[in-house]
Structure 1
Amino acid sequence: MSRRSVLRGMLVGSAAISGSGVLAACGKREESGTTASTVADAAIQRGGTITWGKPAEATLLDPTTGGVGSSMELFQIVYDPLIAVDGELELIPGLAQRWESTSETEFLFTLRDGVRFSNGRPLTADDVVATFERYLDPRMASALASFISTETRVAKVDARTIRFTLPSPSSTFLSAMASAYAVILPMSEVAAGRIDLSKQLLGTGPFMVKSHKSGSGWVLVRNPHAWQEPIADELVIRIMPDDNARIAALRDGSIDLTYFDVPDAERLLADVPDTEVKVQDRTDFYALVLNATGRSSPFTDQRVRQAISYAIDREQIREIALAGTGLPTGAVSAAFGDVAPAPTLAHDPEKARALLAEAGESDLSFEIVYPGEAFGRIAQVLQQNLSAIGVKVELGSLEEGVWVDRVYTQRPPKFDATVSWYAAYVGPAQALNLWNVDISPFAFQVRDARTQSLIERAQQAPEGEAEEALRAASEAIDVQASTIPLVTKNATIAWRTDLIKVAVDDRDGNIHPLRHSPEYALLKAA
């Protein structure tokens, strides 16, 4: 498997989901930015089975190369990373109880004492070192290696301390360490050939795998050695791709919780009794991708690409296509708050018309292809926006496998434009890799030396310079206008308040709807 093929799965959100001085980690343990069921402890039942309606199967089981959303959801229940993330996207202790930077390129991590894998074996510093040696081996083509240089050195200092030495400063290192593709693996068992990571999962997380029927579901049971002991005994995962089937299962109580990507899920769930619905902000975002490298493509001309960008009304997309959810965004996801610059090429139809005239495009027409309902709604708004500046757009709905092949697999790509979505992860600079042509696997992406340089600067900037570096890189990406960020992509999480107590974060950057699964509890019968 090539590095680029792995990154394609990691970066392409829709493909991933179907089918983001001394730095100390003593961190806050209290959960901020979280909505919890208001249930008295006396009503909680210890033990029992929680049932999750999961929209998609986990198809890649090795965290080394499985950096796709449907798999990341499962990894983060069975495994743990060194660093965790709270509901405000702040870094907090995970398997590492603390960390510190001794210089701009050196980090020390101290392991939590007494952690064991679900087979009872103690977690060691050797497991951590061997895990990252695996992740950073260029031959493994790991998802993590796009954010942490393969030249990074990892060494054991003592039984509980690990040193990471980076080849250069990195503003993405710590946030990448908090990702689902940076979980710690049972490397003694792997080295001895007692476990095949592509088929088996063995971690330190709250639950461990009891059984799996591909395409149907999973049964996870309490990890008896978990350092985060779950309240429930069992977590049953039912694979349920159909939204209506999950709504029906919530209604009849055959599942306790689920989530939806369709933007009007909150409305669809309004009449389901005893159900609480939370629209969760995510760092992920929708984007309009223009094929700027095709020989006959009108988008080889930057003026045309910029005209398309100026024509887009992001607020209209949010209101009409996404039922008022999400935030208009640039290349740094708006979910990161104040550090995220607003899009540089804001809605301006007059500028769009002037650029088309300058480029000699008086009768521009092209097709926008898309793979599903939410994408189609966005495409319809884009069609209206572009019609207002005299551009004719045809819309083409594609089966997802065909869409992935035409947009992300074929060389050269076989499309004019498409609506897609991308994971932005935990750190503001991480999604910039989408526009880094030395890393991005996308054949439709424009190579621009200045943009490339600004992205690299943003991913290496020290804390005091980070915000300005992010702004400069984001503006350069906007001006390049080949992959145009639109609106952040939220998720709607729903659960039966008469059956289960849950906690759900306000924001998420790891595609981790069940981050609080150890706290989930069934309610006692009335």
Structure 2
Amino acid sequence: MFKKQFLFLLFIALAFVIAACSNDSNDSGETSDAEAESGSEEETQAEQVLKIANDQEPAGLDPHKTPAASSVRVYSKVYEGLVTFDENMELEGQLAESWDQPDDSTYIFNLVEGAQFHNGREMTAEDVKYSFERILNEETASHIASYFADIETIEVLGDYQIQFKLANPNATFLTNLTNSSAAIVAQEVVEENGDLQQVAIGTGPFVFEEWVPDNSVTLLKNEDYYVDGIPKLDKVEYYTMLEEASRLSAIRTGEIDMTTVNAQSAELLDGADGLSVMDYQSLEYSYVGFNVDVEPLTDEKVRQALSLATNRQEIVDIAWNGQGVITGPIAPAMGDWSLDVEAHELYQNDLDQAKDLLADAGYPDGFEITITTASTYPDMVDTAQLLQQQWKEIGVNAEIRQVEWGEYIDIWSNKSADILIGRNGSGSDPDRAMNYFFHTDGSANVWNFSNAEYDELVLKGKGTVDVEERKEVYNQSQELLLELSPNLFMVSPMNYVAVRDGVVDYQPYAHSSEDIEEVSKK
């Protein structure tokens, strides 16, 4: 009996000791290995990181100097402009919370108070004035200078109010302000670095953290962003993956969360587990650009002959896998602004007429020419190869030169190609498609193209406020541009974005395919 009582008391004592040791451990803040692992997993899951694969390396980060899409997709998250578009392409304020228009040529913007640059300094009207003066300064060589050439004066009315007076009424002014390159920048950052190609300090929802060349760009959440609850992501990581096969593999395995893909890849991904493919009709178009200062491209009959020798439907079917529409200079996604070009005489693939035009121009036996294209875009390479075959039927022997993206951008800006295969965006107003690219003084007129009648038309369109009158002016200017053929306009493609199922609230639009402010991960 005594022995049993002793053992029972000993068991109770041991239980108290174990309990006390356990309590001591918990009081000291220590956790078990299992608890630590569980906590680590929860912390990792809580971090919102979006990984995006890009098809090209950024060509620089200066919004006032670099129009490349590979750059815009990055700096558009870091910088902001005065106004932007909502999902319905309606104007709404960004750094300007409101604006007034006292007359047809005057705009007064009331700025957001408390918006800070990522260096901690508040953005004011002086920064807006400096930014637009920088864009208009010839030394900047900004690709959007022609957008704002009508600005006559910029006057700071107060810390948060600024006035623009234009030389003439301009129906495109507010729309042009939505361009990602019309960004508000900090003067001290420009002066410290010379330009903004390697740095990015804006007021936007994401902060530029790091750019590892030929590898990745990292953006972090702006913890001091002036809009509550935005952004939802903690980090965005862009990975440069030039090869489509690499991006396909990465999106399938979950190594990345999003990437653009071509039509063929979109078909391959159809029904794949854990992801979906979103599509939309783009505002982009592919083109064949002629340097009209290079013989024999100086003669519009030669350019017209090349248009007639081009089978655009074959390019749609092969280069774009049938997922696109034949286009003029204004993409069909812009609706009534776009001209129906398929019935146009120069779109008819008439080889006999093409040969007659070449003979009239003094080239009855054809000629030799070089086509330059970016090696990293399969659709551009395919288009070049198809044109090489098609044009050979009228005696034109084209050599294809494939170059890397950085060299391609230099060739484009230096106007050093005979013929260049590329892509453009029609923008959100017909003025971009018609004036920016083809007016004699257009900032992106890299073709040495100049025609007084055409210039007069597009300037009239820019200053015409009545919508129906504007449409008629742009119809006339499109007809004239097709006749003069400084570019051959080819295909406006469907665009495709592959997205993992864990990405929430992402929706691509033709005018804004990479808006991720509201995106989160689950």
Q: Normalized against structure 1, the TM-score is what?
A: 0.80
1:485 alignment partner, one of 475, 479, 489: 489
- 1:202-231 CA-to-partner distances (Å, cap 9, x unmatched) read 222111123332332233221112234111
* 1:21 aligned residue: none
Report the equivalent of 2:250: 249
**What amino acid does structure 1 have at the position aligned with 2:480?**
A
Q: Give CA-to-partner distance per residue, 1:167-199, whole Å, 9 cap, x none.
A: 223333222211111111234x44885997343
Structure 2 residue 506 is the aligned partner of structure 1 residue 503: yes
Which residue identity does 2:499 align to in structure 1?
A: W
Deviation at 1:503, TM superposition (A): 1.6
* Between 50-59 and 86-95, the greater mean CA deviation after superposition: 86-95
The offset of 1:366, in angstroms, is 3.8
Q: Does 1:129 align with 2:129?
A: yes
Partner in structure 2 of residue 376 of structure 1: 381
Percent sequence identity over aligned pairs = 25
Tell me whether 350-359 or 108-117 shows the greater mean CA deviation: 350-359
Distance 1:218 1:401 in 2: 17
The answer for the alignment partner of 2:462 in structure 1 is: 459
Residue ranges of structure 2 left out of the alignment (5+ in a row): 1-44
Letter in 2 for 1:175: T
SS at match of 2:133: helix
The aligned amino acid for 2:495 is A
1:230 is aligned to 2:231: yes
Cα distance, 1:183–1:360 mapped onto 2, change above 3 Å:
closer
RMSD: 3.0
Q: Displacement of 1:52 after TM fit?
A: 1.5
The Cα shift of 1:290 comes to 3.1
1:78 and 1:204 in contact (8 A); partners too: yes
Bigger shift: residues 115-124 or 213-222: 115-124
- Deviation digits for residues 397-436 of structure 1, max 9, x if unmatched? 422369738954667x453x34222233332111222222
Residue 406 of structure 1 contacts residue 414 of structure 1 at CA under 8 Å; is this kept in 2?
Answer: no
State the match for 2:61 in structure 1.
61
Q: Secondary structure at the match of 2:463?
A: coil
Q: 2:219 matched to 1:216?
A: no
Contact 1:84–1:92 (CA under 8 A) maintained in structure 2: yes
More divergent stretch after superposition (434-443 vs 316-325): 434-443
Preserved CA contact (<8 Å) 2:438 2:444: no
User: Are the counterparts in 2 of residues 368 and 379 from structure 1 also a CA contact under 8 Å?
Assistant: no
1:184 is paired with a residue of what secondary structure?
A: coil
* Unpaired stretches in structure 1, ≥5 consecutive residues: 1-44
Q: Which amino acid aligns with 1:468?
A: E
Aligned pairs (5 A) from 1:2-41 = none
The match for 2:498 is 494
Measured after TM superposition, the shift of residue 342 of structure 1 is 2.5
> What residue is the counterpart of 1:81 in the other structure?
81
Residue identity in the other structure for 1:382 = L
Q: Secondary structure at the match of 1:286?
A: strand
**Is the partner of 1:248 in helix, strand or coil?**
helix
1:338 to 336, 339, 353: 336
Equivalent residue letter for 1:255:
I
Q: Which residue of 1 aligns with 2:25?
A: none
Residue 463 of structure 1, CA deviation: 3.1
Residue of structure 1 equivalent to 2:140: 140
Is the 2:155–2:163 Cα contact (8 Å) retained in structure 1? yes
Corresponding residue for residue 177 of structure 2: 177
Deviation by residue 1:97-147 (Cα, 9 ceiling, x = unmatched)? 233432222112222344333344433222222222222222222223121
Q: Could you say which structure has the higher helix fraction?
A: 2
CA apart distance, 1:360: 5.6
Structure-2 separation of matches of 1:367 and 1:442: 21
Higher RCO (CA-CA < 8 Å; seq separation 6+):
1
| Aligned-partner SS, 2:198 | coil
Q: Does 1:363 align with 2:368?
A: no
- In structure 1, the partner of 2:36 is none
CA–CA distance in structure 1, aligned partners of residues 191 and 305 of structure 2: 58
| Residues 129, 156 of structure 1: 8 Å contact kept | yes
Distance 1:406 1:72 in 2: 17
Q: In the alignment, is residue 324 of structure 1 matched against residue 333 of structure 2? A: no
Pair 1:265–1:101, CA change in 2 (3 A): farther
Q: Identify if the C-alpha distance between structure 1 residues 330 and 505 changes in structure 2 by more than 3 Å, giving closer, same or farther.
A: same
**One-letter amino acid of the counterpart of residue 249, structure 2:** A
Secondary structure class of the residue paired with 2:347: coil
Q: Is the Cα–Cα contact under 8 Å of residues 270 and 276 in structure 2 kept in the other structure? A: no
- In 2, the alpha carbon distance for the partners of 1:118 and 1:405 equals 29
Q: Could you tell me which residue of structure 1 aligns to residue 92 of structure 2?
A: 92
Asked whether the 8 Å contact 1:366–1:394 carries over to 2, the reply is yes
User: Cα offset for 1:478?
Assistant: 0.7
